[in-house]
Amino acid sequence: MDLQTLTYTVVGATFLLYIGIAIWARAGTTGEFYVAGKGIGPIQNGMATAADWMSAASFISMAGLIAYMGYGGSVFLMGWTGGYVLLALLLAPYLRKFGKFTVPEFIGDRYYGNSARIVAVICLIIASTTYVIGQMKGVGVAFSRFLETDYDTGLYIGMTIVFIYAVLGGMKGITYTQIAQYCVLIFAYTVPAVFISLQLTGNPIPQLGLGSAMADGSGTFMLDKLDLVIQDLGFGEYSEAKRLSTLNMFAYTMSLMVGTAGLPHVIIRFFTVPKVRDARTSAGWALIFIAILYTTAPAVGAMARLNLMETIQVGEVGSPEGNLLYEERPQWFKNWEQTGLLKFEDKNGDGRIQHYNDKNPEMAAKAAEFGWAGDEMVKVDRDIIVLANPEIANLPNWVIALVVAGGLAAALSTAAGLLLAIASSISHDLLKGILMPDISEKNELMASRVAMAGAIAVAGYLGLNPPGFAAGTVALAFGLAASSIFPALMMGIFSTKMNKEGAIAGMIAGISVTLFYVFQHKGIFFIPEWSYLESWGSNWFFGIEPNAFGFVGAIVNFVVAFAVDKVTDEPPQHIQQLVLDVRTPRGAADAVDH
Amino acid sequence: MSDSNTQASAYWKENLSIIVKIMVVWFIVSFGFGILLVDQLNAITIGGYKLGFWFAQQGSIYVFVVLIFYYAKKIEQLDEKYDVHED
């Protein structure tokens, strides 16, 4: 079977599986639509959380970013796992004890009133929508490769499928489907990694292969070799190159960690376990399932980079025969050129491909001597690395087909979870909770489906003009969640005295400074023409990039909240009692039914 | 009433001290070893891994997993001790 037919078959089979499960477990009631009943044990819940969590950003984008950032890419690895420690210790058990459907519901009750709830809903929608934009970029990449079309067409088709998929299901359908998706995506991610690790180092375990010697008998360690290869071409040392600065890496990591614990579609997962105890271990199980991918990713990134460099730079740097002839480029190269995500331009007209760091002055001088006229790989979208990886390594076709299916599973599962969080905050918190308390269950379901459709349309539109790589855009969403939701939740549990004025002021201040900084760099609503105050330069705040700014936003949130809290009245007695009650596990109720 | 209140605040105090201890480890392995001290640790290598690099891309994640299960175990013992566990 040729690659295209095989890909259709594998992707088709996995889709049939998801749709079958979604129909079998169709949500009947609003309760099921939001939280799947409380019958889901910690291991299954952990697995579904992992699928929910590991999005297009993790599956498709992250290893590609690490491939080009090297050590600097560690911010994603630590940031997107360390947040689970915060979740398990600081939030999950208490929110489960509290026992409601949505995050704004908790904030509304804890801070006694609709104003806090509305602010939370708005913050949640801003953060989740930004997140979905990143997913849409991933969906577009995966579908454009799968269907061999350009990126835009891939995105339109992807949007349609996400819509059908998320609107039909609801949480109950999603939970079981996500367990299936986890299995598909983790299998699809690890199989090629094992093959490539074997090829390069002879060690089948990628986590060990990354630290092993090359299998070519030279005795050189893989990472040392990679350092040499890319330094020869003017790139920074792989194992040590920092992301801008130590402070920026610190802020970036913290922003992702805190954001992890503040994103509604993750938190909502811990409402679905039967007991408080399960909420704690569930976070642990989720992290185990996530860690399998996250500890493999650095190996995938490093090995893909080495393979890519060696495919292009076939001989010694600077020798006339040293670079691959464009005419002889491999099939995967042609496939990706078709999507527009990989572009070559023969700047010096020698018919060969030169890929090096032309921004490095020393290297540029050397390159001029070689007769090179600049980096000819004018576009290597980082988001294609993982999908192209098995092709670059010449793995069998079924592995390539599997990776496409895995990428689609990752993108779909997270997009569905997020859309659900957005839909529930609009229909459940805004409509039923505040605007139209008498709305019927049927209409509430209808409203949430309309909200989902709206969110997909907005995210799809912005996905056509994406502000960056999938993982980069998603990182912004974490910053927004970190600066708004997390501090409000944490203070709501750990301080009995935090009052409504403090929490509201904190959330508004936190998300405002973060949005101000992000939009200043990326443009208002991520429309690049609408950026402002360019004269301030980029990363002007202590060299911190916008993706990492959530850390600063969170600090602003805490400081403002405590300052305002000091000068306003204490919360009423029954609220303080509520906080004390949330702190002990006994007496946790079952799901709150409608 | 007041007795159960002191019980509850003692439980909470012990819980907080467990949380703080775990968070210290959480901070040291990731922000400490993986970021702030990475250059110093990179002087040490284990196989092909520089140690700081290993903590940043592998080690910290393994420790996170252990920390969560350790907390779950500790807090469960505490729940029993103060008789606030479920069922």
Q: Return the higher-pLDDT residue of A153 and B62.
A: B62
Q: Indicate the residue among A352, A386, A420 that finishes a domain.
A: A386
pLDDT digit string, tens, across residues A74-91: 999 999 999 999 999 999
Intra-chain end-to-end CA distance of chain B, in Å: 21
**Structure confidence at residue A591 (pLDDT):** 46
Tokens of A28: 């009947």
Q: Indicate the residue among A365, A386, A407 that finishes a domain.
A: A386
The SS3 assignment for A202 reads coil
Q: Which residue of B has its CA nearest to A82?
A: B64
- Taking CB atoms and an 8 Å limit, are A584 and B22 in contact across chains? no
Tell me how far apart the alpha carbons of residues A177 and A186 are, in angstroms, rounded to a whole number.
14
pLDDT digit string, tens, across residues B10-64: 999 999 999 999 999 999 999 999 999 999 999 999 999 999 999 999 999 999 9
B22 touches chain A (CB under 8 A): yes
Mean pLDDT, range A527-555, rounded to an integer: 87
Tell me, yes or no, whether A301 and A433 share the same domain: yes
The SS3 assignment for A39 reads coil
Tell me how far apart the alpha carbons of residues A292 and A297 are, in angstroms, rounded to a whole number.
9
Cβ atoms within 10 A of the Cβ of A594, count? 12
- Taking CB atoms and an 8 Å limit, are B42 and A240 in contact across chains? yes
Q: How close B6 comes to chain A (CA, Å)?
A: 12
**Structure confidence at residue A525 (pLDDT):** 73
Write out residues 305-344 of A within 8 Å (CB-CB) of B.
none
SS (H, E, C) A84-139: HHHHHHHHHHHHHHHCCCCHHHHHHHHCCCHHHHHHHHHHHHHHHHHHHHHHHHHH
pLDDT digit string, tens, across residues A425-434: 888 888 888 8
| Number of structural domains chain B divides into | 1
pLDDT above 70: residue A292: yes
Domain that holds residue B71: 2-81
pLDDT grade, residue A592 (50/70/90)?
Answer: very low
B48 touches chain A (CB under 8 A): yes
A256 touches chain B (CB under 8 A): no
Residue B87 placed within a domain: no
Q: Indicate the residue among A347, A364, A386 that finishes a domain.
A: A386
**Structure confidence at residue A437 (pLDDT):** 84
**Structure confidence at residue A491 (pLDDT):** 97
Residue A484 placed within a domain: no
The CA-atom distances, in angstroms, between A373 and each of A63, A203, A288, A369, A377 are 29, 39, 47, 10, 12
Residue B20 placed within a domain: yes
A62 touches chain B (CB under 8 A): no
**Structure confidence at residue A495 (pLDDT):** 95
Checking ipTM against 0.90, whether it exceeds it is yes
Tell me how far apart the alpha carbons of residues A487 and A489 are, in angstroms, rounded to a whole number.
5
**Structure confidence at residue A593 (pLDDT):** 35
B74 touches chain A (CB under 8 A): no
Of B64, B76, B82, the CB nearest to A287: B64
Among the listed residues A73, A374, A30, the one whose alpha carbon sits nearest the alpha carbon of residue B57: A73
Tokens of A564: 């305002």
Tell me, yes or no, whether A201 and A278 share the same domain: yes
Query: Cα dihedral angle (A262, A265, A271, A275), rounded to 10 degrees?
Result: -80
Domain that holds residue A7: 3-307+394-465
DSSP B45: E
Tokens of A569: 């009245």
pLDDT grade, residue A207 (50/70/90)?
Answer: very high
**Structure confidence at residue A552 (pLDDT):** 97
Suggest the residue from B6, B23, B54, B58 to mutate for an interface test with chain A (most A CBs closer than 10 A).
B58
Tell me, yes or no, whether A206 and A347 share the same domain: no
pLDDT above 70: residue A30: no
pLDDT above 60: residue A34: no
pLDDT above 80: residue A468: no
pLDDT above 80: residue A172: no
pLDDT above 80: residue A266: yes
Suggest the residue from A49, A74, A77, A254 to mutate for an interface test with chain B (most B CBs closer than 10 A).
A74
Mean pLDDT, range A221-246, rounded to an integer: 94
B38 touches chain A (CB under 8 A): yes
Chain A residues within an 8 Å CB radius of B54: 211
**Structure confidence at residue A452 (pLDDT):** 85
Total beta-carbon pairs less than 8 A apart between chain A and chain B = 138
Tell me how far apart the alpha carbons of residues A330 and A317 are, in angstroms, rounded to a whole number.
20
- Taking CB atoms and an 8 Å limit, are A223 and B49 in contact across chains? yes
Q: How close A303 comes to chain B (CA, Å)?
A: 14
Q: Which residue of A has its CA nearest to B37?
A: A246
Residue A245 placed within a domain: yes
Q: Return the higher-pLDDT residue of A170 and A423.
A: A423
Tell me, yes or no, whether A302 and A411 share the same domain: yes
Of A73, A212, A287, the CB nearest to B68: A287
- Taking CB atoms and an 8 Å limit, are A284 and B12 in contact across chains? no
Model pTM score:
0.92
pLDDT above 90: residue A170: no
Which ranges of A261-396 would DSSP assign to H, the alpha helix? 264-267, 276-312, 331-339, 361-370, 385-392
CB A104 within 8 A of CB A268: no
The DSSP result for A556-580, as a single string, is HHHHHHHHHHHHSPPPPHHHHHHHH
Tell me, yes or no, whether A100 and A208 share the same domain: yes
Tell me, yes or no, whether A399 and A358 share the same domain: no
Tell me, yes or no, whether A125 and A114 share the same domain: yes
**Structure confidence at residue A38 (pLDDT):** 54
Residue A483 placed within a domain: no
Tokens of A593: 């039914």
**Structure confidence at residue A594 (pLDDT):** 28
Percent of chain A predicted with pLDDT > 90: 51
Among the listed residues A448, A565, A413, A468, the one whose alpha carbon sits nearest the alpha carbon of residue A29: A448
Chain A residues within an 8 Å CB radius of B30: 78, 82, 253
Tokens of A571: 């919360």
**Structure confidence at residue B63 (pLDDT):** 98
Cβ atoms within 10 A of the Cβ of A467, count? 22
**Structure confidence at residue A529 (pLDDT):** 74
A577 touches chain B (CB under 8 A): no
A41 touches chain B (CB under 8 A): no
Tell me, yes or no, whether A146 and A268 share the same domain: yes
With 0-12 / 13-18 / 19 or more C-beta atoms within 10 angstroms meaning exposed / middle / buried, residue A240 is middle
**How many helices (H) does chain A have, and how many strands (E)?**
25, 2
Tell me how far apart the alpha carbons of residues A513 and A401 are, in angstroms, rounded to a whole number.
44
Residue A503 placed within a domain: no
| Number of structural domains chain A divides into | 2
Write out residues 83-112 of A within 8 Å (CB-CB) of B.
84-85, 88-90, 93
pLDDT grade, residue A211 (50/70/90)?
Answer: very high
Tell me how far apart the alpha carbons of residues A303 and A380 are, in angstroms, rounded to a whole number.
16
Residue B48 placed within a domain: yes
